[in-house]
Amino acid sequence: MKVLIVDDEKHVREAIKLLGEWERHGITDILEAADGKSATEMIEEHAPQIVMTDMRMPRMDGTQLMEWLSGSHSGIKTIVISGYDDFDLVRHAIRHGGMDYILKPVDPAALNEALAKAAAACREEELKRRQSSRQSIEMNRMRPHYADKLLSDLIGGHGRREEILQQLREEYGLPEHIDRCAAAVISTAQLDDELLEKFARMKQLLYFTLTNIGNELLSAKRKGFAFHHLANPEEIVLLLWDDSMPLSSLLEDIHRGIDATLHRSVHIGAGSFQPFPEGLARSYQEAHRALWQRSLQDPAAWLHTLSAAGPAAPRPLRLSAHEEQFRLAALSGSREQISAAVDGWMQAVRQLDRVTPEQLVQWNAEWDWMLKQWMDQGAEAAAPSPDKDALLELPRSLPLDKHGRLSYDLWTSQYEGRLTAASRILTQKHSRENHIIHDIAAYLESHYAEDISLQEMAARFFLSREYISRRFKQEFQVNLSDFLARIRIEKAKLLLHNPQLRISQIAEMVGYQDEKYFSKVFKKQEGRTPNEFRKDLAAQTH
């Protein structure tokens, strides 16, 4: 905290400096000025919280200084120290925010009492400013979320429609008169695995990016809103009310904006223009269905409507029809048999007129049910085993490429991975060479330099994180991250024999991007830093 002493007599300023208990009041800087004019310059430059001023001074006296302070810096606390016991001066001081009026010669108790009161007032106001700032930050942070909630309620038919509309008009600029509107839908569930992996630990950033691109093009031109659909978190919904131009033209700008930012040609489902607000839910349902019933083999289309989606497949293909081939392949433990079973499924799919995202989701649900049945049947046929609780996790994304089309290669890899994982569990291969936990350990030993997490291992080996974590600890008596750290440090110890490699290079070579963190892990395991380890090696050599 800073204080400015303003008095034309130097010995008075010195006396005040001696009498004030500055440290006790939290004051760290004491500034001085010989008149009001010099004081204004110092206030502008140093921004003191407290000003202690005389009333009679040349150039600009205390009354003028206080008038200037009350008009330009009303937050500064002012204490008057004057040799004049004048009622008009006292009244002027009170009128312009003076906290105390102390007469010369200065009484130390009176001075420090005034300082304590002024300092306390400064601290209280600073606390209020910080609280207000935090509240403002929180409000700004919550404001988009609140808009998402209002708009999600509106398309879902929740809450009182008129109240929601009124709040949207008052808070977010929704036009008073909208005759017709249309909804469009983007689903992050229909993005490729590479992009989803990039945002795996920050999904909210992906949602923010998509809504921000939409709002930059819609809200700025007052053509609509983009928002995160809270009732279906994987969706971004575009609400459009400008029907003076084709819907495709409005959405094409957004499509190009997303492509330029994320380098992805996202697919958008669009509903028809409907009366607002009563037809909004209908338009949204049309957009949602159009997106999930689109043909995954269409190489060009990115905008989808129900009229273009085509009729539903007359005879839907069921995964359960191939269950026996899958189960026998899994029980055989043969890679060839597993590949043949998956290939048989793919051939059946290729005979369909079209495949939709909706069908992929349905097949994933059938797969999940099928595996659970196998686990339960295996438990009945054999002694209870903790292995039966292993949930084989479905991939985090649909087997789609960067253009949103079906990738048969990726899909084949996913199915073969699931069957291989199921095979290891069903056949209860507990030997060191064959157990899946040892396959995971072998993978860690080969890929230790990569960024590896438990979630990534679960996705790669089609097992639940909980299962891997529990079985890994049972098998190796350490958790997966500690096991990986041991491998990395052992590799680092070998590399430290080479004096030409810097510690930062070695850290990166064994999977640590942060040299300080690498040194910390190294010291925890070896009892000395990498530098100390290297020095010990050099000493042993000589």
What's residue 198's pLDDT? 86
pLDDT category of residue 377 using cuts at 50, 70 and 90: low
Percent of the chain whose pLDDT exceeds 70 = 90
What's residue 244's pLDDT? 76
What's residue 381's pLDDT? 42
Model pTM score: 0.61
What's residue 429's pLDDT? 46
Q: Is the pLDDT of residue 499 over 60?
A: yes
Mean pLDDT, residues 271-296: 93
What's residue 312's pLDDT? 54
What's residue 306's pLDDT? 87
Residue 157's CB is within 10 A of a number of other CB atoms, namely 11
Outline where DSSP puts E strands in 167-315: 180-187, 224-228, 235-240, 268-270, 274-275, 303-304
Of 191, 240, 236, residue with least CA distance to 219: 240
What is the C-alpha to C-alpha distance for residues 89 and 81, in angstroms, rounded to an integer? 11
Q: Are strands 224-228 and 235-240 parallel, antiparallel or unpaired?
A: antiparallel
Q: For residues 36, 39, 44 and 47, what is the CA-based torsion angle, rounded to 10 degrees? A: -130
As a CATH number, domain 438-452+465-542 is 1.10.10.60
CATH architecture, domain 175-308: 2-Layer Sandwich (3.30)
The listed CATH number (3.40.50.2300, 3.30.1490.270, 3.90.245.10, 3.40.50.720) that belongs to domain 2-128: 3.40.50.2300
What's residue 380's pLDDT? 43
Q: What is the per-residue pLDDT across 107-154, written as a single tens digit (0 to 9) for each? A: 999 999 999 999 999 888 888 877 766 665 555 555 668 888 888 998
- Bigger pLDDT: 412 or 459? 412
User: How many helices (H) and strands (E) in the chain?
Assistant: 22, 11
What's residue 142's pLDDT? 56
What's residue 144's pLDDT? 65
Write down the domain spans for the chain.
Answer: 2-128, 175-308, 319-428, 438-452+465-542
Mean pLDDT, residues 16-23: 91
Q: Which amino acid is at 292?
A: W
pLDDT category of residue 214 using cuts at 50, 70 and 90: very high
